[in-house]
Amino acid sequence: MLRITDARTGEPTDAVAAPRGLTRVEAHVSRDDTSALRVLLVADVLARALEIGKTPVVTVADPPPGLRALALELGIRPPEGRTAPGGQTVHVVGTDTADGDPVPADGIRVEVAPANGTADPGVLRLALLARPRRERADLDDEAVARAGERLARWRKAVANWATRPSKPVPEHVKQQLRAAWEDDLDVPAVLRVLHGVENAEDIPDGARFETYAYADRLLGLELTRDIGTSG
């Protein structure tokens, strides 16, 4: 079960109040900048993790129009409205500003450190995901270039692995991935698991493909985008 650190108490807390109970993920943003975009991204990945665990989830946010458009470019799914009934509530908030939309006192509070920098949408998404969410993300040219190289390499590798006979995700790898994201939504640890799979000599290419496709349900990086393309 996904456990997330509640910034109000500093303690890990179940993100699901009851088995199969609804969790409402509310992203609190009022500005139109990379820090606010990072808040929406964390909320999106949190919702994806809950869905993989078969938890009913609804996302709630009301971003400014410009931020909403940029979020869509990054593959952040549109929020489902301003309100949603019942269940556990997880409030995702930035640490660098007092939002115009006050954060209610109920539920769990997840804090996201500021970020700055720009890049192509897929590269920016990966560059932000590669940093622990409670650490400031200053995306300089080197960080963006590193993320771009990794994303291009992984998409090319996945397209190549897709031509090999399919093999299931190795159980120990699936457990490592789940343990990473269920432990306070540790996305950098998920990326480290994928790096290990990329270089493991004992994992068939078909299993690498299935592993990356599985992890991309959380990451939303379109890692399978280049399957079937030439080159």
Domain assignment present for residue 38? The answer is yes
Q: Are 13 and 111 members of one domain? A: yes
Query: 3-state SS of the chain?
Result: CCEEEECCCCEEEECCCCCCCCEEEEEECCCCCHHHHHHHHHHHHHHHHHHHCCCCEEEECCCCHHHHHHHHHCCCCCCCCCCCCCCEEEEEEECCCCCCCCCCCCCEEEEECCEECCCCHHHHHHHHHCCCCCCCEECCHHHHHHHHHHHHHHHHHHHHHCCCCCCCCCHHHHHHHHHHHHECCCHHHHHHHHHHHHHCCCCCHHHHHHHHHHHHHHHCCCCCCCCCCCC
Residues 6 or more apart in contact with residue 6 via CB below 8 angstroms: 12, 13, 108, 109, 110
State the total domains in the chain: 2
- Angle between the N-to-C axes of helices 187-199 and 121-129, in degrees from 0 to 180, rounded to the nearest 10: 100
Q: Are 72 and 150 members of one domain? A: no
Domain assignment present for residue 137? The answer is no
Domain assignment present for residue 75? The answer is yes
Domain assignment present for residue 135? The answer is no
> Which pLDDT does position 82 carry in this prediction?
56
* pLDDT tens sequence for the chain (231 residues): 899 999 999 999 999 877 777 899 999 998 899 999 999 999 999 999 999 999 999 999 999 999 999 999 999 999 876 555 567 899 999 987 554 456 777 889 999 999 999 999 999 999 999 999 999 999 999 999 999 999 999 999 999 999 999 999 999 999 999 999 999 999 999 999 999 999 999 999 999 999 999 999 999 999 999 998 855
Domain assignment present for residue 229? The answer is no
> Which pLDDT does position 9 carry in this prediction?
92
Q: Which of 116, 131, 155 is the last residue of a domain?
A: 116
> Which pLDDT does position 231 carry in this prediction?
52
Residues 6 or more apart in contact with residue 178 via CB below 8 angstroms: none
Range of the domain at 12: 3-116
Tokens linked to 97 = 């500003």
Nearest to 110 by CA among 156, 55, 46: 46
- With contact defined as beta carbons under 8 Å apart, do 48 and 220 qualify? yes
Domain assignment present for residue 46? The answer is yes
> Which pLDDT does position 16 carry in this prediction?
87
> Which pLDDT does position 99 carry in this prediction?
47
Query: 3-state SS of 200-214?
Result: CCCCCHHHHHHHHHH
> Which pLDDT does position 97 carry in this prediction?
59
Q: Are 90 and 172 members of one domain? A: no
pTM of the model: 0.94
> Which pLDDT does position 104 carry in this prediction?
74
Q: Are 99 and 25 members of one domain? A: yes
Domain assignment present for residue 159? The answer is yes
Burial profile 192-211: b = 16 or more Cβ within 10 angstroms, e = fewer? ebbeebbeeeebbbbbbbbb
Identify the CATH number of the domain in which residue 193 sits: 1.20.120
Q: Are 158 and 205 members of one domain? A: yes
Q: Are 104 and 149 members of one domain? A: no
Q: Are 83 and 167 members of one domain? A: no
